[in-house]
Chains A and B, each alone.
Chain A
């Protein structure tokens, strides 16, 4: 399998754990994996990216533009910011709930994410997740990373069996958080099914 997956969001949203789970699940399937994370000053409220590259063809840790099969965005504007990474027939899995930049309170631009979602729909196949509603359903504000993982599994684009993803969760997470995260995963699976729009 050769597959490039880009995860993006805002510092603190949990992109790193999601990327680790995908990478280790792919390794369990026997594929070579390379990945790269944003670390350092940019983490402080800034835009963050994780690159995951599965397969022999990936020579460098960073996905070239126009090469990503899947773009997973934890925030609508971050999806648009990184859309140039996506292949022409790639899919976007995106959280429609915006994270307003800290500068927004000082200088209002009216950013609410709707324009971004409309633009994404115009440009690519999208799975749109209403983060706010799904998190309420899951009963925790801090598990969107597992919801998005569930939606990714349901999209059928990953080519990694769902059982392996779940096993990796069991392997890597503290037992006290496992139940909540599995519930979030299944909520994401449900939300991801029949959600793909052009």
Chain B
């Protein structure tokens, strides 16, 4: 054994490898992305690892491997589980042979997500077990247990860490090496692996009979724990357990319970933890899951216990918990003061705001600007999507009118067309997102004859989640150089008549391409191709000549973080500038020079 200081996502990866995982699939999404990357980092090459094209594909690739007896891990963020829900709902009925663990990382806050959905609710909806780790150390052990339960009950299981577990670091004791785990291979049996209404009916009954047994099994699972004693109890789960522990570590007079397996609810364990208890405070994030389960159990057994939590307004209904928020609530609940002395900062000066922005030199800025200038004076709708380019919404670009979910921009542009035929309807989508869920939307537009312009912002990477490769990059997670899947050929093959490729950093050419497409009916596509600045070497820096008249058009129009005002003069911040040259192409007096595309 050796100690590794790892991120929670690293601990999950190491745990899965220790469990002998044979195949790992996933789609990037904060806060889950580093799990699969750590699998690759620590694996010896015997594990099949892939970034699948989206979460649904990841789930299905893992499903058949699992039917064959292989242990499989699927990773995604919580909204990715929505995409993968179709195969998962059915898979819950069919079941698996080799252990199959689906990590769906929740994001209370939300910090980098569209929703505050709760994977524990999803597990109950699917009727499959879910594990809820409270720390990286616990996650390392728990994911190994998850594989064992999955195989024992022949069901896929969910594993849901939250951001503060995924991105927390701790030292974890890990084995020096892993033994390759053999598996039986697929044994054909259409009565078992082919889902038909009859099989679903039978298996549904089996699942409903089985799940209370899993709840009983979980009642003796060591990660469900109770400490302390007394008439007042605190029930906590996930990282909220850690916050509550911080507050309660000197209070053995409180009964303190951790629920690590929210579904199926470990009823016997909870009933014994409730013995002699009169009041319970539930401390959890996202949905009041444990609170509802407790209320149900207390009602079923008609216990004289009062339950407080989100439903009673004691815990916030949205956002994260923290040690600070719990000190107040727990103090009130226990009738003691837990507030620590803090500085009086009521006279604090007003602070500058730092909204996230497109990086200096980001080619997306140039793409948005080209469309904006080309469409000046024409009614247009700009449908955005999920990725760095959502930041194109910020002033002064102001080029994202809508953003809903991955791939939605392509189809929403069509909806706008059908209700407003005067307008030119644009969809902006990244290269990775195009492969994940943009392609079907383009077919929809072609089939239904919508007028729209698809703008693929192709920066040759999945930038927002940490620069993962995708089908267009020519690299995969097994370290192989593979054929690049061509977005142009896909679009041409679908029947898009006009597919233009431009370098967005050549402003005039980019604007001409936009105008050309805007003059034509039907589906048109422009691929704005320029690599992400975070993975390429800067070409140099721009310089501002003394001939600058200080009109500040560069600042007003493109909002590049590398253009600043110092002592009243417009200046280039050399540490930030990448020499993209966009500013030099808009300066009315040609005062910006240096490395430039013209």
Question: B-contacting residues of A (Cβ < 8 Å)?
Answer: 10, 23-24, 27, 32-37, 39-47, 57-62, 64-67, 77, 80-81, 83-84, 86, 88, 100-106, 108-109, 111, 115-116, 119, 123-124, 141-142
Contact = CB atoms under 8 A, between A and B. Distances in A.
A-B pairs with lowest CB-CB distance, top 8: A61-B168, A40-B112, A60-B242, A64-B323, A66-B342, A59-B245, A44-B356, A40-B30
Contacts of B565: 104-105, 108
A27 B2 CA distance: 13
Interface string B224-243: 00000000000000010011
19 contacts: A23-B169, A34-B168, A37-B169, A39-B167, A40-B464, A41-B356, A42-B111, A44-B359, A44-B388, A58-B246, A60-B239, A60-B323, A61-B169, A84-B343, A88-B342, A101-B354, A103-B355, A106-B556, A124-B343
B167 A81 contact: no
A39 B31 contact: yes
B5 interface: yes
Please report whether the interface of chain B is mostly helix, strand, loop or mixed according to DSSP: loop
B171 A62 contact: no
A106 B557 CA distance: 10
A143 B581 CA distance: 27
Interface of B: 3, 5, 30-31, 111-112, 135, 164, 167-171, 239, 242-243, 245-246, 249, 322-324, 327, 340-343, 345, 347-349, 351-359, 388, 391, 395-396, 464-465, 555-556, 559, 561, 563-565, 575
Contacts of A40: 30-31, 111-112, 464-465
Given A23-B5, A36-B167, A105-B555, A59 B345 contact: no
A65 B563 CA distance: 36
| Most chain A beta-carbon neighbours within 10 Å: one of B349, B388, B465 | B349
Nearest to A39: B167
Contact of A83 (B168, B340, B343): B343
B358 A44 contact: yes
A165 B388 CA distance: 36
Contacts of B135: 61
A36 B340 CA distance: 22
| Most chain A beta-carbon neighbours within 10 Å: one of B170, B349, B354 | B354
B169 A34 contact: yes
A88 B341 contact: yes
A36 B169 contact: yes
B357 A102 contact: yes
B477 to A, nearest CB: 20
Contact of A141 (B112, B358, B575): B575
A77 B357 CA distance: 18
A86 B344 CA distance: 11
Contacts of B564: 100, 104-105
A58 B352 CA distance: 31
A190 B91 CA distance: 63
A77 B348 CA distance: 10
Contact of B112 (A41, A47, A64): A41
A40 B171 CA distance: 23
Contact of A33 (B171, B243, B347): B171
A62 B322 contact: yes
Contacts of B395: 106
B351 A81 contact: yes
A34 B170 contact: yes
B349 A116 contact: yes
B355 A60 contact: no
Nearest to A57: B249
Contacts of A106: 395-396, 555-556, 559
B560 to A, nearest CB: 8
Given A59-B246, A109-B352, A35 B327 contact: no
B352 A44 contact: no
A102 B340 contact: no
B169 A10 contact: no
B356 to A, nearest CB: 4
A67 B342 CA distance: 9
B356 A42 contact: yes
